[in-house]
């Protein structure tokens, strides 16, 4: 509509439960930074090749056909026997009952085979229930009469569909999510089972950032992601899924993992500040930190998440930082002592003895002694060795 010389724009749709922080459109520098971000992400393999995408589509098509064939097999013929009182004749079954079946809307392909070895009426009753291709799983009415396990099975797809429905621009959301997930993995804070955030939680945090900056593109959204989230964690870290039944996707987050993630958010904000000011490149954001330079290194056998909770109860421990990655020993020229360390078992007792060399055959295998003879220098007869 036009009022005088001014033209009124229709109000932009709001996403989420609050109004957006900014409706600013991307600038030329934002577009350039986004292109640089894409180029930085490519070497990390976060984008699917066209060949791989077509392969996934082919596999999904085959699975879809298998499901449809299985449904048809499950809905195979039902053999029903009609037991009637003595005064009802077989001819009545093929006449009056046949006519009654014909009047039913659910009955199709009705035919009587009266002269068969076993006389029978064949029909298709109520057809086979089919699922339309455009079925919207976000419809809560689909959950009616389903048990809790079926609802949980649908929840993953429903949450994904709901997230995509709640973001202003799906392409910007996906590119931003690729960058944030790569950053989280490189900084060792991508693990739901160890108390950090999993894929759904990261997706919801990115989606919320997209809602607050609906017109922004990926380079701006990555920066705003680090700006919004550390300041928005008044509770431990509740991130609630958008589809029914709503669940806290960060149930496993502990005090320590929350502290680690918040610090990583702050560091990410500082780095993206530098990137926007052309003082750093995107590659700096995805540099993997050296975990072992931060803490003393130890080893636990299992139940790491429970161990973290136990450590947090100790008043002298302020932070228990778990690294989700494993670090195998180097395959080329491994340290000999590292090989021997793999031999230790739980509750193994270690004894240190000082014996004469001629007594070694009682403690060591012969092939080990042969190696020692080849590589040793001459010693006096009375040499002592420690084992």
**Binding-site positions for ATP:** 77-79, 181, 190, 199-200
Please list the pLDDT of the chain residue by residue as tens digits (387 residues). 444 444 555 567 777 778 899 999 999 999 999 999 999 999 998 898 888 889 889 998 888 888 777 766 666 667 777 767 777 787 888 898 889 888 988 888 888 888 876 788 888 877 655 667 777 888 888 888 888 878 877 888 888 888 999 999 999 999 999 999 999 999 999 988 888 888 888 999 999 999 999 999 999 999 999 988 765 554 556 676 776 666 667 667 888 888 888 889 999 999 999 999 999 999 999 998 887 777 776 665 567 888 888 888 888 888 888 887 777 766 665 555 454 555 555 566 666 777 777 777 777 777 777 765 555 544 444 444 444
Are residues 187 and 39 located together in one domain of the fold? yes
| CATH code for the domain of 254 | 1.10.1410.10
How far is 131 from 67, CA to CA, in rounded Å?
A: 12
What are the φ/ψ torsions at residue 110 (nearest 5 degrees)?
-80, 130
Are residues 340 and 204 located together in one domain of the fold? no
Q: Are 15 and 4 in contact (CB under 8 A)?
A: no
User: Is residue 120 domain-resident?
Assistant: yes
**Binding-site positions for Mg(2+):** 77, 79
To which H or E segment does residue 182 belong? helix 170-186
User: Is residue 117 domain-resident?
Assistant: yes
Q: Domain of residue 74: give its range.
A: 49-134
Are residues 273 and 192 located together in one domain of the fold? yes
User: Is residue 257 domain-resident?
Assistant: yes
Contact residues for 20 (Cβ-Cβ < 8 A; gap 6+): 12, 14, 211, 212, 213, 214
Our count of domains for the chain comes to 3
Are residues 63 and 29 located together in one domain of the fold? no
How far is 188 from 367, CA to CA, in rounded Å?
A: 44
Are residues 202 and 72 located together in one domain of the fold? no
SS in 3 state form for 199-235?
HHHHHHHHHHHHHHCCCCCHHHHHHHHHHHCHHHCCC
How far is 223 from 213, CA to CA, in rounded Å?
A: 11
Q: Cα dist. 29→35, 36, 220 in Å?
A: 10, 11, 10
Are residues 42 and 107 located together in one domain of the fold? no
Are residues 21 and 43 located together in one domain of the fold? yes
Q: Are 16 and 166 in contact (CB under 8 A)?
A: yes
Pairing of strands 120-125, 354-356: unpaired
User: Is residue 139 domain-resident?
Assistant: no
DSSP string for residues in 253-299:
--HHHHHHHHHHHHHHHHHHHHHHTTSS-HHHHTPPP-GGGTS----
User: Is residue 198 domain-resident?
Assistant: yes
Any idea what DSSP says for residue 140? G
| CATH code for the domain of 75 | 3.30.460.10
How far is 353 from 348, CA to CA, in rounded Å?
A: 16
User: Is residue 192 domain-resident?
Assistant: yes
Are residues 334 and 268 located together in one domain of the fold? no
**Binding-site positions:** 77-79, 181, 190, 199-200
Instruction: Give the residue from 314, 333, 321 showing the smallest Cα distance to 297.
Output: 321
Q: Cα dist. 108→91, 92, 97, 105, 129 in Å?
A: 21, 20, 15, 8, 14
Are residues 41 and 174 located together in one domain of the fold? yes
Are residues 121 and 36 located together in one domain of the fold? no
Cut 0.75: pTM above it = no
Are residues 283 and 309 located together in one domain of the fold? no
Are residues 203 and 341 located together in one domain of the fold? no
User: Is residue 376 domain-resident?
Assistant: no
What is the torsional sign of CA 202, 265, 255, 302? positive
């Amino acid at each position: 509509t036009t009022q005088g010389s001014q033209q009124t724009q229709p109000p932009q749709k709001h996403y989420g439960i609050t109004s957006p922080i900014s409706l600013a459109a991307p600038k030329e520098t934002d577009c350039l930074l986004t292109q640089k971000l894409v180029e930085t992400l490519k070497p990390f393999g976060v984008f699917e090749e066209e060949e791989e995408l077509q392969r996934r589509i082919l596999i999904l098509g085959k699975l879809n056909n298998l499901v449809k064939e299985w449904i048809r097999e499950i809905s195979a013929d039902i053999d029903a026997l009609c037991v009637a009182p003595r005064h009802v004749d077989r001819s009545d079954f093929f006449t009056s009952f046949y006519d009654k079946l014909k009047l039913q809307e659910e009955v199709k392909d009705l035919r009587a085979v009266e002269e068969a070895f076993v006389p029978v009426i064949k029909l298709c009753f109520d057809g086979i229930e089919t699922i339309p291709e455009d079925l919207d799983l976000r419809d809560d009415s689909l959950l009616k009469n389903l048990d809790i396990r079926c609802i949980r099975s649908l929840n993953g797809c429903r949450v994904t569909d709901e997230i995509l429905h709640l973001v202003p621009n799906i392409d910007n959301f996906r590119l931003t999510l690729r960058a944030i997930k790569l950053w989280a993995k490189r900084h060792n804070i991508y693990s739901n089972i160890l108390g950090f955030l999993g894929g759904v939680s990261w997706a919801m945090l990115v989606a919320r950032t997209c809602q607050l900056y609906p017109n922004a593109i990926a380079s701006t959204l990555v920066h705003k992601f680090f700006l919004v989230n550390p300041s928005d964690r008044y509770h431990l870290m509740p991130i609630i899924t958008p589809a029914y039944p709503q669940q806290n996707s960060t149930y496993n987050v502990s005090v320590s993992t929350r502290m680690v993630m918040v610090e990583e958010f702050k560091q990410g904000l500082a780095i993206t500040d530098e990137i926007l000011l052309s003082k750093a490149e995107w590659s700096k954001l995805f540099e993997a930190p050296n975990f072992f330079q931060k803490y003393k290194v130890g080893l636990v056998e299992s139940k790491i998440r429970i161990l973290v909770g136990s450590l947090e109860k100790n008043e002298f421990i302020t932070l228990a930082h778990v690294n989700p990655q494993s670090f195998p020993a180097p395959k080329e020229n491994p340290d000999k002592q590292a090989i021997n360390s793999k031999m230790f078992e739980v509750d193994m007792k270690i004894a240190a003895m000082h014996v004469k060399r001629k007594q070694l055959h009682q403690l060591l295998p012969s092939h080990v002694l042969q190696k020692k003879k080849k590589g040793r220098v001459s010693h006096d007869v009375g040499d002592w060795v420690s084992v």
